[in-house]
């Protein structure tokens, strides 16, 4: 009898743990719409894959979301891809809506003028990743406000203001929805301009600590909740979102000399390029900023071109080992080896390369190799005389 009670108790305890562990997980259903105005920078499938699939990967990897095909979901997420102007701007808006919590929107844009297919695809990936991470930051702040003791970043008086804002918003919603108890039991908290200045200054502190998405959420608190939309603090917060934060990130990345590896420097400049294109998209009517940002984009393009050459040269080094091996094999056998032989030798002598394509016709061979480390493709071409070159 006692054993049975113990077993039941343990099962209930484990059940409560399981319930608690999954209480923070949000089951979502998704819908995607595209407004392209008959402009197809990419195919519909590629646009969804680059932007939406990238966003969903970030959301599910955060541990906050599970995609559900059933009706018993906690929330819905609407992905809206908008293509603006004559081949100028791509924008992704993620709208999170739930009946049990607040609704949130995250929007990211990219200027894509003069980009090739690969560059445009990368722009779609950027807006997907960044919009998803901004949404996660909004939900994280909501969680911190609900449980202030879990915060290690925000100071108590900042949390108090944010808590008061949440209470005020709930009371406003109660009155607007004409519930039975239209008059809240507790008096509405007083939020004045000094409180918004305090939040603004806290956002600046987070920005300077490179916590950009957290800073962005606080700036949005000022913009969305201040009653005077023409207030100086509101205007400054709006400018931080479209210019202050991304240009600070650009400057920080330009000054970062922590790595001398070409592939890492290349990734850094790719991020700078994306941030500058985000600034262009959000400041298209500011002539001075547009001129300054375009000059920076020119500098980044020159740097990326030089880095591309360096990375291609690094990838060629590994391919050259394979070239010498194949040339020797042709001299011995009088013919180019089959695909299986090449794959086997690559695993031994060029394991950082993968074989993307193999073609053998009339004693002419073409190999397309991809370097995972340097993210570059090189081509080996051999002729009927046993000569083989790298392109």
What is residue 259's predicted lDDT score, i.e. its pLDDT? Answer: 74
Annotated domain spans of the chain: 22-146, 315-390
- pLDDT at residue number 6: 42
User: H/E/C letters for each residue in the chain?
Assistant: CHHHHHHHHHHHHHHHHHHHHHCCCEEEEEEEEEECCCCCCCCHHHHHHHHHHHHHHHHHHCCCEEECCCCCCCEEEEEEEEEECCCCEEEEEEEEEECCCCCEEEEEEEECCCCCHHHHHHHHHHHHHHHHHHHHHHHHHHHHHHCHHHCCCCCHHHHHHHHHHHHHHHHHHHHHCCCCCCCCCCCCCCCCHHHHHHHHHHHHHHHHCCCHHHHHHHHHHHHHHCCCCCCHHHHHHHHHHHHHHHHHHHHHHHHCCCCCCHHHHHHHHHHHHHHHHHHHHHCCCCHHHHHHHHHHHHHHHHHHHHHHHHHHHHHHHHHHHHHHHHHHHHHHHCCCCCHHHHHHHHHHHCCCEEEEEEEEECCEEEEEEEECCCCEEEEEEECCCCCEEEC
pLDDT along the chain (391 residues), means of 10: 43 38 74 88 92 94 83 88 86 91 91 91 96 94 79 81 85 64 64 91 96 96 93 97 97 85 87 96 95 96 89 85 90 92 86 90 92 87 92 85
> Whole-model pTM?
0.80
pLDDT in the model for residue 11: 41
Say what the pLDDT of residue 107 is. 96
Task: Classify domain 22-146 at the CATH superfamily level.
Answer: RNA 3'-terminal phosphate cyclase, insert domain (3.30.360.20)
């Amino acid at each position: 009898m006692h054993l049975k009670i113990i077993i039941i108790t343990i099962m209930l305890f484990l059940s409560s743990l399981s319930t608690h562990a999954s209480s923070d997980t949000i089951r979502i259903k998704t819908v995607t719409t595209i407004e392209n105005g008959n402009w197809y920078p990419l195919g519909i499938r590629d646009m969804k894959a680059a932007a939406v699939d990238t966003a969903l990967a970030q959301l599910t990897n955060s541990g906050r979301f599970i995609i559900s095909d059933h009706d018993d979901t906690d929330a819905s997420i609407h992905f809206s891809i908008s293509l603006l102007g004559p081949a100028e701007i791509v924008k992704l808006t993620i709208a999170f809506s739930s009946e049990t919590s607040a609704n949130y929107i995250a929007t990211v844009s990219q200027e894509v003028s003069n980009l090739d297919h690969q560059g445009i695809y990368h722009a779609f990936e950027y807006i997907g990743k960044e919009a998803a991470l901004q949404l996660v930051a909004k939900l994280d702040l909501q969680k911190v406000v609900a449980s202030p003791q879990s915060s290690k970043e925000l100071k108590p008086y900042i949390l108090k203001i944010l808590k008061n804002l949440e209470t005020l918003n709930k009371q406003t919603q109660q009155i607007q929805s004409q519930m039975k108890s239209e008059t809240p039991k507790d008096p509405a908290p007083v939020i004045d301009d000094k409180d918004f200045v305090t939040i603004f200054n806290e956002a600046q502190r987070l920005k300077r600590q490179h916590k950009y998405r957290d800073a962005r959420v606080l700036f949005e608190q000022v913009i969305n909740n201040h009653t005077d939309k023409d207030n100086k603090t509101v205007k400054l917060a709006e400018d931080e979102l479209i210019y202050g934060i991304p240009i600070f990130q650009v400057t920080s990345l330009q000054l970062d000399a922590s790595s001398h590896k070409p592939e890492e420097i290349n990734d850094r400049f790719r991020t700078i390029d994306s941030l500058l294109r985000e600034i262009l998209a959000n400041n298209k009517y500011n002539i001075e900023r547009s001129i300054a940002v375009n000059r920076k984009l020119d500098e980044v393009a020159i740097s990326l071109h030089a880095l591309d050459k360096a990375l291609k040269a690094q990838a060629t080094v590994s391919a050259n080992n394979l070239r010498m091996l194949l040339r020797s094999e042709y001299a011995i056998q009088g013919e180019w080896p089959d695909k299986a032989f090449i794959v086997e030798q690559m695993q031994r002598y060029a394991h950082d390369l993968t074989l993307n394509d193999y073609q053998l016709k009339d004693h002419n061979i073409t190999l397309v190799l991809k370097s995972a480390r340097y993210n570059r493709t090189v081509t080996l071409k051999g002729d009927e005389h046993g000569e083989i070159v790298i392109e």
